[in-house]
Amino acid sequence: MFNLKAPCANCPFRKDEGAIDLAPGRLEQIIKDIENEEVFFCHKYLSGEETLDESGDIIAYKSGKGDQCCAGAIIYIEKKYGEQRCSALQVAKRLGWLPIKLMREHFDKVIDPPPEAL
């Protein structure tokens, strides 16, 4: 699940023009989900089953054996919270499954979290 070391060329978390276009509000919803400790899988490495609503949006996902967590999402959370967030990432780091040192080399490619309200 933690084999990706960099955001893919069209990762929705990329800063550049290569980022995939998402429906309005979708990126904000993904961010809200991952801040609530939900896993966001890379769109290129999905092997599970999706349940779609009438408009084609994913409303449920059952992960498969080949799924990979989105490196862009992990980097975003790491940029925003560091060691303070996401139990699954903390466990993965401690077990040596998460190549966070390699991921940090790609921090400049991923969107910055908004500044915290004072």
Assigned domain for 115 exists: no
Assigned domain for 1 exists: no
What's the number of domains the chain is made of?
1
* pLDDT tens sequence across 18-50: 899 888 999 999 998 888 878 788 878 766 666
Assigned domain for 80 exists: yes
Assigned domain for 88 exists: yes
Q: Would you call 100 exposed, middle or buried from its count of C-beta atoms within 10 A (0-12, 13-18, 19+)?
A: middle
pTM over 0.95: no
Assigned domain for 44 exists: no
Assigned domain for 33 exists: yes
Q: Largest alpha-carbon pair distance within the chain?
A: 43
Per the DSSP assignment, residues forming a β-bridge with 62 are: 49
Assigned domain for 45 exists: no
pLDDT at 14: 95
Assigned domain for 2 exists: no
User: Which region, left, alpha or beta, applies to residue 64 given φ > 0 means left and ψ of -120 to 50 means alpha?
Assistant: beta
